[in-house]
Structures are given as structure tokens and as C-alpha cells.
Chain A
Amino acid sequence: MTSAQASDRIVFRDVSKFYGEVLGVNKVNLEVTPGLTGLVGPNGSGKSTLMHLMTGLLRPSRGEISVLGVSPGCPEQLFHLVGYCTQYDNFPNGSTGLSFLRFALALHGYSNREADERAWAALGRVGLSDAANRRIAGYSKGMRQRVKLAHAHCHDPRVLVLDEPLNGLDPMGRAEMIDLFTDLAKEGRHIIVSSHILHEVDVISDGVIMIHGGAIVAEGGIREVRGEITSHPIQVLIRCDQPHAVASRIFELEHVVEARIIERDGLLVRTRDAADFFTQFNRIVIDTGVVVETVVPADESVHAVYDYLIGEGQGGGSA
């Protein structure tokens, strides 16, 4: 990896973390590129440990970590680049939203005036301007979540690490925060989001990291990850005007293991060779002259991939 690449990536090299004799994460190798990355895994799988390691709140027992070329062991450099919204729901006693952010920004070296401006801007961005001077102890769960998000991004970091950032937010708040994360990612930042709500991770993430039992089980774009799971045929949903005719032709293909009519105009196909399937399907469409409305992958989602890789072993599909 070149130094230019190193300064643009979050890299874990053979990282392990043990709490005494208890395994936190084991031999993690990762390279996270800019964009919105979802971190998915069941409770206790090592998501928060991974995030703590990335931000220096934990030190690795083994291996090396580099965040945009900076070691998490150098907080004086790291936290100019990184903001972290942890899962902890506690705040310094007596703080108001504004004083909490002002103190954080003062530690970043901003003057009183700059700290004030940035604190107000960050609180505005998460919709807390009206509650800025109220004590955090009196905030609702959703407001506390918002003030933590404001704390994480008030200094304009290039990397935002967000541990279950949508917890406690109402549907409107979730939508607003998802928009905020998407905007920040579009600006070329790294946004790493852990969530147990797979649907949300699916909607917002460019890539996904799946962790289970302290080990990374999959990493990359959701399509690539799904493509590598050969044990489960890929599912394709076709909507057309002659599903029975298409089904009979498709069944002749060697790699198709199932073709099932669903509803009136839907056909669900399971195939072991997606690339060949799409080539052959184009030919069938031309030959039969069917009118095709949609052809979409039915299990190229975080949820499906999670189920295949982790959920089945857990006896369920949610993290």
C-alpha cells in the first residue's frame, strides 16, 4: 500500500484484542475506504471493540491499526481527524448541550468565539438549537443521541465512527440523521456506522463489514459479498407478462435450482451462476418476446447476506 493510500484508509493489520482471557476481536485484517460503511454483527460480536480500537479507547493486544496514516495511540493527531459517537449514554454532570460542546471544542484548541460558533452550528445540524442551554440530564433519549452526534462531528472530522447512532431516535429523527450521514459521506469522509437494524444499514451503506464472534466474516460492497457466498444460490425476482413461459425456459438452464411463480406476474429464480443466468435470460426474452417489467436481485441485501453468513448459525436473522 502506498503512503497516499494509507493516508486515505483505515487499516487493521492482524489485530487482536483480549480482555484478560476473553476474546474481543481476533486477527482482524481490514481496509476501509472513504464512504459510508456499515458494521454489522450480533450483540457481543466485537463491533464496539473494533470501534474502540479504531479510536484508541482500547489498545490492541496484537497487531497494528492506522487511521488515515495515524496511529490511534497518538490522540493529539488522531482526534483532529476522527469523531466518535459511542454507545455510552452518560454525560458529565451538570452539562448543558452547549457547554458540553464548547468544552470539547476548547480542547480542540478553538477560541471561545470559534467554539461558540461551531457548537451552535453542530447543535443546529442535529436539531437541538432550542435545547442548547438546557441540562443534558433533562434531555430525552433521542436528544441525548443527537447531542452525542453533534459532539462527534462538531470539529469537522474526516472520519466519523458512529456506534448505534440511530438508537432512541424517532422515525423522523432517523430519516434526518440518515440524510446527515449520507451528506457527510458524499463530502468524501469515512462514515462507519454500526447498527443492529439491518434495513437501515442496507439503505445507507456503500459497503459492509460483518463481524461474528470477534472475527470478520465478510467485508466489501454488498453485491461482491453476496457474490462470494456460493453455498446459497442467488435469487432474482422477475416481473413480466408471461411468467409461466419464462419459467419453463429458465428451468432448462443447468445452474437454475428453482423457478417459482409468485403472485400473478412474478417469478423468483434461484441460480448458482448469476452471470450466465443474465446472459441466457436476455436470449429467452428476445426468443419469447415477453414484456419484462423488472429484474432485480432478491437477496443482495445486508439482511440476506447477514442471514446467510451469521443469522442461520444464530437461529435468526437479526443482529
Chain B
Amino acid sequence: MTTPSNLLQRRQAVTLARHEIRRSLFSRRSLAVYVLVTMPLALMLLRALFMPGSLRADATHATTEFAEVFHFFLLRFVVFFANAMIFVRLFRGEILEKSLHYTLLAPLRRTVLVVGKYLGGVLSASLVLVITTTMTYVLVYLPHGSAGLQLMLSGSGIANLVSYLLIVVLACFAYGALFMLAGLFFKNPMVPAIVFLGWETLTPFLPTFLKVLSFVHYLVSFAPIPVNLGAFALLAQPVPRWIAFFALAVSSGLLVFAASRVARRLEVTYSAD
């Protein structure tokens, strides 16, 4: 095969990404992700069914209600765990399946392998979570009838949705890189994932110098509607969006770089795993 090196690497990354999208979205194991992303939709449907008539008439509540659902459930639980399930499996899934060696037997730089798998994971997670977030958003406004729809489709309603979707996509990049690295590093990556969830959950109560070590601190900078984090939350200056974007991009890049370093030293010893 005499394909120029750069072209070959691009082709390989695209092939891997497409393969990962198929594995993440259409395999039996993706069922757990689908169950997870259905939870906010089910919750919103229940809310719509049991909403008192007095609340239905007032659509303005919907905006703050979605903000709370997004902060406390979608972002901190659904987005977090969906990314954990998808990205941890990129390497660890194949190690447990004892099929990783087939990919390692291809004329493929390990860095390309990591980047290809990561892009596949980001696209899969983003697609599923963007659809879930959008549907949840619609289901929050829908019970309020035409007033709700009008508010949702107004300039600010659409702008808010775009901001939330941006947070979701950025979260996929950041959490994705972290969980992919965890999948390469730990035999049971769900343990560090749960520890990290604890850290992310505690972020509002941490002093500023520790807040900067969490992703959620930067992600919420893009939130259009602030939420009340409770009486014990330590308030900090919001991070300017460009700094938040830069911090998330750099940390994701560093984590992917670290994952490619680990992948370069990766050996096939399934019996040890």
C-alpha cells in the first residue's frame, strides 16, 4: 500500500471513528446508554402528565425549570454517565472482549488509533446527548401550550437551547477525553469515574482554587440561566466564556495526548486484565 502517510492516517482515523460510532450506537452494549438518556425524557413526560392546571398557564416557569433540570440532572448525571459508558469502553471494552489486538495489528500509529476512537466517541456521545437535551427542552415547554411553544421558539428560547447544546458538546469533548484515559489506565474505570462524579458534584461547595480543577466549573460558564446552588455553595466569579472554552480545549487536548502516550506503551496481556 503506497498511500501518502498523511492521507492514510486521515483515512484510518475516519475508519476508526465510523467503527466506534457503529459500536457505540448500534451494539447491544449501547442499550445502557439509551436507557440512561431516556430517563430525563420520562421525567419530563411525568411532569407534563401530573402538572397542575395553574402551572400550565404560566410558561415563564419553564425556562428556570429546564435550567435546574439541566444543571442537576442532565449535565451532572446523564451527560456524565453517558460519556463514562461510551468512552471507557473505547479501549477497556475491547480489552475485556479480547479483541483489541486486531486493531493493534494494523499499520496504524497508536496516536491515530487514540484520535480516531476519541472522535468516534465524541460524535456518538454528542449525537445522543444533543438529541436528548433538545427533546427534554421541548418536553419542558410543551405542556404550557401555545404560550410555551412561543417562548421556546422565540429568539431567547432558541439561543438558550443553543447554549445548552454547546455545553453538552463541550462536556463530551472534556469528559470523553478523561474517561478514555481512565479506560486505558484502570482495570475498573467506573471506580475513578464515580470518584470524579463526587468531585464534580462538590464543585459548588469548593473554594475557587479547587473549583478550577473541575470541568463543570467551566461548562456552567456557558449556561444562559444561572441556578441557585443552595445555601452552602461558595460563590465565585463566573469564568469568562473564552477562558472556559480555552481551559476545556487545552485540558481535553492534554488528556488525549496522555491517552496516546499510554496507548504507545500498551501491551496485549489479556490474562492480566
A107 x B98 contact (CB < 8 A) = no
Contact with B along A41-63 (1 / 0, CB 8 A): 00000000000100111110000
> Smallest distance from the beta carbon of A318 to chain B beta carbons, Å?
23
Let me know if B154 is at the binding interface, CB within 8 A: no
Contact with B along A76-117 (1 / 0, CB 8 A): 111110011010101111100000100110111110000000
> Smallest distance from the beta carbon of A238 to chain B beta carbons, Å?
50
Specify which chain B residues have a CB less than 8 angstroms from the CB of A75 in the assembled complex.
Answer: 104-110
Contact with B along A244-266 (1 / 0, CB 8 A): 00000000000000000000000
B103 x A107 contact (CB < 8 A) = yes
Of A83, A103, A110, A151, chain B has the most CB atoms within 10 Å of the CB of A103
Let me know if A146 is at the binding interface, CB within 8 A: no
Alpha-carbon gap, A58 to B269, bound state (A):
8
B270 x A88 contact (CB < 8 A) = yes
> Smallest distance from the beta carbon of B216 to chain A beta carbons, Å?
33
Let me know if A155 is at the binding interface, CB within 8 A: yes
Chain B: interface size category: 20 to 34
**If A79-B108, A84-B105, A92-B102 touch, does A58 touch B270 (CB 8 Å cutoff)?**
no
8 A Cβ contacts from A92-145 to B: 92-94, 100, 103-104, 106-110
**If A57-B268, A92-B97 touch, does A108 touch B107 (CB 8 Å cutoff)?**
yes
A57 x B1 contact (CB < 8 A) = no
Alpha-carbon gap, A93 to B96, bound state (A):
11
Let me know if B11 is at the binding interface, CB within 8 A: yes
Residues of A within 8 A of B (CB-CB), count: 32
Alpha-carbon gap, A104 to B106, bound state (A):
7
Measured CB to CB, the nearest residue on chain A to B104 is A57
**If A58-B269, A59-B265 touch, does A103 touch B97 (CB 8 Å cutoff)?**
no
A76 x B28 contact (CB < 8 A) = no
> Smallest distance from the beta carbon of B124 to chain A beta carbons, Å?
16
A90 x B97 contact (CB < 8 A) = yes
**If A58-B268, A107-B12 touch, does A93 touch B97 (CB 8 Å cutoff)?**
yes
A94 x B27 contact (CB < 8 A) = yes
Contact with A along B1-18 (1 / 0, CB 8 A): 101010010011001100
B102 x A78 contact (CB < 8 A) = no
Measured CB to CB, the nearest residue on chain B to A53 is B267
A107 x B107 contact (CB < 8 A) = yes
8 A Cβ contacts from B17-48 to A: 19, 23, 27-29
Of B29, B106, B267, chain A has the most CB atoms within 10 Å of the CB of B106
> Smallest distance from the beta carbon of B267 to chain A beta carbons, Å?
5
Contact of B106 among A92, A94, A107 (CB under 8 A): A107
Let me know if B241 is at the binding interface, CB within 8 A: no
Alpha-carbon gap, A315 to B107, bound state (A):
43
B99 x A92 contact (CB < 8 A) = yes
Contact with A along B246-273 (1 / 0, CB 8 A): 0000000000000000000101111010
> Smallest distance from the beta carbon of A122 to chain B beta carbons, Å?
14
Specify which chain B residues have a CB less than 8 angstroms from the CB of A94 in the assembled complex.
Answer: 27-28
Let me know if B101 is at the binding interface, CB within 8 A: yes
B16 x A107 contact (CB < 8 A) = yes
**If A76-B109, A86-B101, A92-B94 touch, does A108 touch B270 (CB 8 Å cutoff)?**
no
A77 x B107 contact (CB < 8 A) = yes
Specify which chain B residues have a CB less than 8 angstroms from the CB of A79 in the assembled complex.
Answer: 105-108
30 examples of A-B residue contacts, CB within 8 angstroms: A52-B267, A57-B104, A57-B267, A58-B267, A58-B269, A75-B104, A75-B106, A75-B110, A76-B108, A76-B109, A78-B107, A79-B108, A86-B101, A88-B98, A88-B99, A88-B101, A90-B97, A93-B23, A93-B99, A94-B28, A103-B15, A103-B19, A104-B102, A106-B12, A106-B15, A107-B15, A107-B108, A109-B12, A109-B107, A110-B1
Which of B's residues lie within 8 Å of A, judged by CB?
Answer: 1, 3, 5, 8, 11-12, 15-16, 19, 23, 27-29, 94, 97-99, 101-110, 265, 267-270, 272
The 10 closest A-B pairs by CB, nearest first: A107-B106, A90-B98, A79-B107, A57-B268, A109-B3, A106-B15, A109-B8, A92-B99, A109-B1, A76-B109
